[in-house]
Amino acid sequence: MSEIIMSVLVMGFIAIILAIALIISSKKFYVPENPLIEKVAALLPQANCGACGFPGCAGFAKAFVENPSPEMRCPVAPPEVLKAIGEVVGTAVGEGKPMRAVLHCNGKHSNVQKVSEYIGIRSCASAHILYTGDKACMYSCIGYGDCANVCLFGAIKIEDGIAVFDPEKCTGCGLCVKACPRHVISLVQKRISNVRVTCSSHDRGPVVRKNCKVGCIACGKCVKVCPKQAITVAPGSNLAQIDDQKCILCGKCVAECDIMHAITAEGRVVKAVEIIIKKKQQEKEEKQKAAALAAAGTGGENAAAETKEVKS
């Protein structure tokens, strides 16, 4: 019993000595932190997403205060917060254009043929490594939610086998882009309206038609109607791509893609598309009426000619 008590006393004495040593060393080697770091960190959204390239909001605050640079920016913080940070430090924070994530796939279960049943870890990364997925298209969104799991803002949910993004909640941090093993998510400029190709397949047209109801078949119709050459189909890619910087949101490409519906619109562009489609339909009906009248006129002339011949 005495040996146990002695051991406890010795251990306690050693612990006290070590605690005193830690206190002395912390006092001796203490480096005062710049108070601006704490102020900047308090202004940041505390998302700790790492989209700025630093380990969390505290890491960004420390780096910006100690070595401020206009190129350094927090993609999650709104402009007013970035302005406030710049006023605290005395250096403007980089303000890039607000971005949002979009999905280049409309491979819902209702649109794409299902070819197998996946039994395993419910992860897009795991499924992508093991096999092409349960959908016929090997380029489609797997839909197991890796992007939703990394989103810190609740901007992504899985519906009918694909990721659905809430543009109001999305901050453009880019974590979902990095998490997607199929690379079917990208960041585009955040604006009221949006036009995008909802397909990532590089298969040839006949294969796309077989696998998906709404895939891009690279027909080139959208390229021909675009007034700003914002859409291209690179040789061998079999996929239309939109340059977000050139796109003027006219909606002509969306209206022209009336076979596969591989280009979609959001916001006010939808109304423009409806007007274009209605106009196209009216022109088509007018041509049909003109052709019918021409045919009827030709028939009448032929009948009159035949009657004349009979009389003579």
Q: Is it the case that residue 306 has pLDDT exceeding 60? A: no
Q: Does the structure show a pLDDT above 50 at 105?
A: yes
pLDDT for the residue numbered 310:
46
Q: What pLDDT is attached to residue 73? A: 79
Set out the domains of the chain in order of their start, with CATH numbers: 35-89 (1.10.15.40), 99-190 (3.30.70.20), 193-285 (3.30.70.20)
Query: What gap in Å lies between CA 305 and CA 282, rounded to an integer?
Result: 34
Tell me the mean pLDDT in the region 71-92: 83
Q: Residue 248, Cα to own-chain centre: how many angstroms?
A: 19
Q: What is the tens place of the pLDDT at every residue in 146-199?
A: 999 999 899 999 999 999 999 999 989 899 999 999 999 999 988 888 899 999
Give pLDDT tens digits for 106-119: 999 999 988 888 88
Q: Give the Cα separation of 126 and 253 in Å (integer).
A: 36
Look at residue 129 and tell me whether its pLDDT is greater than 90.
no
- φ/ψ of 186, rounded to 5, equals -140, 165
Cα 138–chain centre separation: 19
Report percent pLDDT > 70 for the chain. Answer: 92
As given in the structure block, the two tokens for residue 69 are 């640079």
Question: Nearest CA to 147 among 157, 139, 133, 134?
Answer: 157
- Lowest mean pLDDT: which of 31-35, 152-156, 219-223, 292-296? 31-35
Tokens of 33: 């932190």
What are 60's two structure tokens?
Answer: 């960004």
Least confident of 130-139, 248-257, 298-307: 298-307
pLDDT at residue 1 greater than cutoff 70: no
Average pLDDT over the chain reads 86
pLDDT at res. 274: 92
pLDDT at 39: 87
Closest to 197 measured CA to CA, from 137, 256, 161, 242 = 242
CA torsion through residues 108, 110, 113, 118, sign: positive
Give the per-residue pLDDT at 312: 47
Q: Are 201 and 208 in contact (CB under 8 A)?
A: yes
Q: Could you please report the per-residue DSSP string of 147-179?
A: HHHH-SSS-EEEETTEEEE-TTT-----HHHHH
State mean pLDDT over 192-212.
93
Conformation bin of residue 183: beta by default, left when phi > 0, alpha when psi is -120 to 50? left
What's the CA gap between 123 and 144, in Å, rounded? Answer: 5
Enumerate the H helices of the chain as residue ranges: 2-28, 35-43, 56-66, 79-89, 124-130, 146-150, 175-179, 205-211, 221-225, 252-256, 269-311
Average pLDDT on 3-28 reads: 82
Strand partners, 187: 101
